[in-house]
Amino acid sequence: MTERFLAHIEDELAGIAADGLLKTERPIKGKQRARIDVGGREVLNLCANNYLGLADHPELAEAAEAALEESGYGMASVRFICGTGELHAALEARLAGYLGMEDAILFAACFDANGGVFEPLFGPEDAIISDALNHASLIDGIRLCKAKRYRYRTNDMADLEAQLIAARDARFRIIVTDGVFSMDGTIANLPEITRLAEVHDAMTLVDDCHATGFMGPRGAGTHAHYGVEVTLLTGTLGKALGGAMGGYVAGPTPLIAMLRQRARPYLFSNALPPAVVAASLRALDLVEAGDDLRAQLFENAAYWRAGLEARGFTLLPGAHPIIPVMLGEAQRAQDMAARLFELGVYVSGFFYPVVPKGQARIRTQMNAALTRADLDFGLAAFEQAGRELGVLAAAASRT
């Protein structure tokens, strides 16, 4: 049986490779910076979630080192046995205050937070109305819940209202959306979502992984960006807040209390290492005072977007630091990424099933640590690769 199963999996992998969809990984040596060492080559990194450039910040390393010395390597326990340290309680309180919520609960990752938030709170009598492009972790978490499931077209408020009406007989209803859709850089229409929630007596949950730290006043997220209130927020410590690991759910105290009692990823996963928690506390200090970093981030995003558009690349509209370069075919995205690596730029091609078929792309991401010289270097490499591979063939014929 085992040999037959292994042969089956090998056939599956061969099929993936034949379709040009085999994903690869390149080990990075050293720190996550604007320029990184990959296989002995220094390349410009344009695909990290390191939005504020804090991943290698010396103050975070110092905070982690001090916690390692004082509290050890790990807690060797789940939270409810003997895994809750003073640092964990402090970070949960700090996150809640930063996000403008009553309480917060930590998870090993936001994937775990999204996987654990629905099942303890909602049952068969309830309804979850979810955006069609929500992150896989939200989709999986909703599947684990027995609530009725409704889906609306991305940012389509008329369809959202239709689904709310279709679910009107449910005991409780909650609208679930990414704050920023990670593949497109599109920001959810929270003003209209929260208005419809009020009209139809529904709650709201926003996954703010690609917003916390840099969207809105103090970087508090998409709800702060729009000045609206939501019921629950989920998010990560692994992107703008230092880039390590950890996730959270923030919201009303009774809901967070129920998650502490019933959320399985919380109950059955080890507590976050003290070094990560201490560094995250320091990261929040830097982020709250980081208006200069946020300004640099969005200045870089505007410059990069304008440069790509001027060279003839097809982009999705927006102003977020996620700036996808649309290429259509999976093989073209892979070829473009490979050629850019040869030219000294590190990016990844995204294709089905990560994005819909026919919408393959290279998702570039800006961060505050990138200099103007870095961006000009990247733009020149994109232009060269684009012309060589025929992506900019039409533009080249006009010059």
Centre a 10 Å sphere on the Cβ of residue 348 and count the other Cβ atoms it contains. 21
By C-alpha distance, which of 28, 59, 115, 20 is closest to 287?
59
Measured distance CA(273)–CA(225) in Å, rounded: 31
Rounded Cα distance, 308 and 314, in Å: 8
Catalytic, 182? Answer yes
Distance CA 247, CA 207 (A): 11
Phi, psi of 344 (to 5 degrees): 100, 20
Q: Which of 130, 182, 280, 348 is catalytic?
A: 182
Q: Which helix H or strand E contains 88, and what residues bound it?
A: helix 86-99
The answer to whether 239 is a known catalytic residue is yes
State the Cα–Cα distance between residues 195 and 218, nearest whole angstrom. 24
325, β-bridge pairs: 315, 362
Bridge partners for 175 per DSSP:
129, 204
Query: Which residues lie across from 59 on neighbouring strands?
Result: none
Residue 128 contacts residue 176 (beta carbons within 8 Å): yes
Checking phi first, is residue 185 left (phi over 0); if not, alpha (psi -120 to 50) or beta? left
Q: Two tokens at 161?
A: 């209202």
Q: Which strand ranges, in their side-by-side order, compose the sheet holding 203-207?
A: 103-107, 247-251, 232-236, 203-207, 173-178, 127-131, 148-152
Catalytic residue among 148, 223, 239, 320: 239
- d(Cα 336, Cα 328) in Å, to the nearest integer? 12
Which one from 88, 135, 148, 210 is the annotated catalytic residue?
210
How far apart are alpha carbons 332 and 344 in whole angstroms?
18
Residue with tokens 């700090």: 94
Active site residue 29: no
| Contact residues for 25 (Cβ-Cβ < 8 A; gap 6+) | none
The residues that are catalytic are 182, 210, 239
